[in-house]
Amino acid sequence: MCGIVGYIGSKNATSVILTGLKRLEYRGYDSAGIALANGSLTVCKKAGKVVELEKAVKAAQLRGTLGIGHTRWATHGAPNDVNAHPHTDMENTIALVHNGIIENYAAIKQRLQKQGYVFRSETDTEVLTMFIHSFYTKTKNLEEAVRLALCEVEGAFGIAVVSTLEPNVLIGARRGSPLLVGVGEGENFLASDASAILQHTRNVIYLQDDEMAILTKDGYTTKTIDNETTDSIIHEVEFDLESIEKGGFDHFMLKEIHEQPRTFKDCFRGRLLASEGTVRLGGLNPVLDKLRRAQRIIFTACGTSWHSALVGEYIIEQLAGIPVEVEYASEFRYRNPVITPDDVVIAISQSGETADTLAAIKEAKLKGATAIGLVNVVGSSIARETDAGIYLHAGPEIGVASTKAFTSQLAAIMLVALYLGRTRRLSQRDGMEIAQAIERVPEQIQAILDHSSQIQSIAKKYAKAQNFLYLGRGYHFPVALEGALKLKEISYIHAEGYPAAEMKHGPIALIDENMPVVCIATQDEIYDKVLSNIQEVRARNGKIIAIATEGDTRIAEFAEHVITIPNTLPMLTPVLSVIPLQLLAYYVAVERGCNVDMPRNLAKSVTVE
Ligand code: G6P
């Protein structure tokens, strides 16, 4: 949520920053801005996407070798030119970009207004800028002014700051919101995530909470905001530029849907020991004992990750017999949950930066629980905050609507469930059967993708619908939720996911001849029950789009459209049944002319509460 890029070196900062902002645009795209600070401060900002900023920057012919840029997801203040970042002080000395929320901004603003500060925007960020300026007038030292201001700030921030009076310094700091330093040769960078600077350097330092970085062209230092020098470890970014490009697909989302045979495999590669029917999870070594003895597992997550947690509940209870609860992170952290040291709390997060999930993990740890992260982004806050974890290895996910991260999360959950099952009640033979079924999944996903054109033509037919209903039972109830979420996120069609049998307690009232109803009806032990639910829809003229098992000869009689998926173990079917739903949402959105990769009002990584 909000993207930050900072540059100090000898290159044209404008082009470094604009390229970086384009790569970060998936984090937020309400407005964008850039400030260069060589000699004087030049600021250019625009409501809308980075391309609007690019036009304005070209017209203004901005030049310089020190600068900061920002792409915004609005929290305080409407997404217009004035509220866009960077913000400056009244004398145009310092410029600042910010990701996060300054919670005590109103009190600070009042203080500053009494001192004569006048504000142009409605943002908390402008308040922080002026606040730093108020220290700067006394200290005449940017680093010190930033440090003193941050000591009094409550809330979350990732910031980058420059001053015209110190044209050799770029300052960054973070608490809650992610920020890293890119270490180059004769140049250094700040960025919210590595994709922004990958074409310049692979060497990054992930800043810790309450840590600052002071960058010059040729060096850097890091320290806490309490002025203690910190040791910074340089990490090498593993993914390459190709993985953050569209690679011939029209949209990142479609590319990421098509990556799933590989990304699913990348999650279990080297971890699944098929011949022994078990798994090796090196990342969980520090907590294996606790995990084996867990009395209860609590999943906490948001959005799509919460849906994979629901699947996790069913699978772990089935294989290992451990009670599992699933909590929205935003509810968990504020409802004083009962947690004991025998509980294991598993946070699921693609970005590893979701503010609520991060806070939930901190809360669980405070209460003595063991915390595990199933996270995609290496080095992210949740990955660092948890006691142990499993990286998904899905590669960067750029499309705002999560697809490949979901199936990779299911892969990681399967591994945990299989591990726990084998330590408790699952025989080696059963373990082997599951492991072999997991190994077949990538080619089964591919088989579904190979039939995308059928889904595309169904999408064309229903693209004008105003509502959609998604029904599933058992393992497919979370998939119904995920299918509905995908559709509403990117096509703005109202969609609801429901447990198929529960439908008659409400949503059935909505069904008429205009209602497409997607029913997941694979051949498992509740197949006949789902068929009955389908008939209830048919009796009210709803249009059935069924997701069924290959070879099912009965279902066609009950459905307008049948999309088949290969046969697998029931607990693995969500990985397959979700693929047609991702494609359906994608093609409906394209048909409606929606911006699939940047749906309105959403952001990829939600780093505010
Ligand atoms: C945002 C994204 C969703 C994602 C959710 C949780 O809402 O748009 O795609 O599922 O955050 O994000 P996380 O990174 O924690 O999985």
Q: What is the DSSP string of 531-565?
A: HHHHHHHHTTTPEEEEEEETT-SSGGGG-SEEEEE
| Same-domain check for residues 113 and 184 | yes
∠ Cα 239 579 453 (to 5°): 105
136 versus 531: which is more confidently predicted? 136
Q: Kindly report, residue by residue over 65-75, the tens digit of the pLDDT.
A: 999 999 987 76
Decide if 435 is inside a domain. yes
Candidate list 2, 267, 302, 594, residue with the active-site label? 2
602 versus 482: which is more confidently predicted? 482
| Same-domain check for residues 456 and 499 | yes
Query: In this model, does residue 1 exceed pLDDT 70?
Result: no
Whether ligand 1 lies within 6 angstroms of the CB of 42 is answered as no
Whether ligand 1 lies within 6 angstroms of the CB of 307 is answered as no
Residue 394: helix, strand or coil by DSSP? coil
Residue with tokens 């025998």: 342
| Same-domain check for residues 285 and 214 | no
Decide if 601 is inside a domain. no
| Same-domain check for residues 443 and 476 | no
- Find the 406 Cα to ligand 1 centroid distance in Å: 10
Mean pLDDT of the 477-500 span: 96
598 versus 225: which is more confidently predicted? 225
* 2, 252, 304: residue to mutate for ligand 1 pocket, most atoms within 8 A of CB: 304
| 526 pLDDT tier (thresholds 50, 70, 90) | confident
CATH number at residue 297: 3.40.50.10490
- Find the 180 Cα to ligand 1 centroid distance in Å: 20
Percentages (nearest 5) of helix, strand, coil residues in the chain:
40, 25, 35
Q: Is 116 left (phi over 0), alpha (psi -120 to 50) or beta?
A: left
Sequence-ordered alpha helix ranges (H) in 140-292: 142-152, 252-258, 260-268, 288-292
Q: What is the pLDDT of residue 186?
A: 97
| Same-domain check for residues 103 and 191 | yes
Mean pLDDT of all residues belonging to the chain: 93
Whether ligand 1 lies within 6 angstroms of the CB of 604 is answered as yes
Candidate list 45, 255, 486, 604, residue with the active-site label? 604
- Phi, psi torsion values for 429, nearest 5 degrees: -60, -45
Decide if 524 is inside a domain. yes
| Same-domain check for residues 187 and 299 | no
Mean pLDDT of the 438-444 span: 98
Q: At what angle do helices 573-591 and 452-462 cross, to 10 degrees?
A: 50
| Same-domain check for residues 33 and 133 | yes
Decide if 579 is inside a domain. yes
Domain boundary, last residue among 417, 448, 479: 448
H-helix or E-strand spanning residue 87: strand 87-88
Residue 540: domain span: 451-596
Of 26, 355, 363, 302, give the one whose Cα is nearest residue 158: 355
For strands 467-472 and 494-499, give the pairing. parallel
Decide if 401 is inside a domain. yes
Note whether 16 and 34 are within 8 A (CB). no
Decide if 165 is inside a domain. yes
Residue with tokens 């499309």: 399
* 302, 311, 376, 378: residue to mutate for ligand 1 pocket, most atoms within 8 A of CB: 302
Mean pLDDT of the 160-178 span: 95
44 is catalytic: no
Cα 476 to Cα 222, 352, 524: the distances in Å are 48, 26, 11
Q: What is the pLDDT of residue 114?
A: 96
Q: Which atom of ligand 1 is nearest to the CA of 304?
A: 10
**Torsion sign, CA atoms 452, 458, 463, 469:** negative
Q: Kindly report, residue by residue over 2-11, the tens digit of the pLDDT.
A: 889 999 999 9
In the chain, the N- to C-terminal Cα span, in Å, equals 11
Decide if 604 is inside a domain. no
519 is catalytic: no
Q: Kindly report, residue by residue over 113-125, the tens digit of the pLDDT.
A: 999 999 998 889 9
CATH number at residue 133: 3.60.20.10
User: 485 CB contacts (<8 Å, ≥6 apart)?
Assistant: 303, 304, 307, 495, 497
| 374 pLDDT tier (thresholds 50, 70, 90) | very high
Question: What strands lie across the sheet with 180-183, from one edge to the other?
Answer: 40-47, 31-38, 66-72, 3-8, 188-191, 180-183, 203-206, 235-236
Of 54, 70, 40, give the one whose Cα is nearest residue 160: 70
